Amino acid sequence: MTKIIGLTGGIGSGKTTVAKYFAEKGIPVYIADDEAKKIMDSPEVIKEVQAIFDENVLTKKGLLDRKKIRNIVFHHNEKLEALNKIVHPKVKKDFENFVKEHQNAPFIIKEVAILFETNGHKLCDATILVTAPLETRIARVIERDNTTREKVLQIINNQLSEEEKEKLATHIIVNDNIQNTYKMVDILIKNLKIN
């Protein structure tokens, strides 16, 4: 049975960079957010999601307006729960298919932004937390998203603290120097293949 290794990290930690490096090394990587977006673009899901909301949440092209939905669910928890009830089971099924497709791999990486917050780590054989110094994370997000320090801190403060995540993580990768990060991943790949 293929081992499932959960990969997570707070905003700006560099978990996507680490996920891409695993993929470059031939390890199957499932990016949960990307797959959820693809699922949300399917016509039947668009119809189901629109039915939750009183207002129109579609773009001119007929796709879901994610920004509008995010703003609504941020203030209405019951809408977020309804949205999750539609999307999560479909992502779960999609992931199960991904695992079947890669059943001969020694392990697969499942990248999830809120792995610990959703208790997703309990479904993994091990977990990797990507972390970085706070100021590094803030600078990365400001540059990447063209946003403000205040907005980044607001997101960070809404996420589980690094200390809490570290207690739950099996492995920790400190991503403050890309060459060191790659070395840590290389060591981890060797260890995960053996154990």
60 is in an annotated binding site: no
161 is in an annotated binding site: no
Strand order in the sheet with 107-111: 29-31, 107-111, 3-8, 126-131, 171-174
Reduced to 3 DSSP states, what percent helix, strand and coil does the chain have, rounded to the nearest 5? 60, 15, 30
42 is in an annotated binding site: no
And the tokens for 112? 């999830």
> What's the full length of the chain, in residues?
195
DSSP per residue, 97-165: HHHHHTTTSSEEEEE-TTTTTTTGGGGSSEEEEEE--HHHHHHHHHHHHT--HHHHHHHHHHSPPHHHH
Note the Cα 40 to chain centre separation in Å.
Answer: 16
Q: Answer whether 131's CB lies under 8 Å from 171's CB.
A: no
Q: Enumerate the known binding-site residues for ATP.
A: 12-17
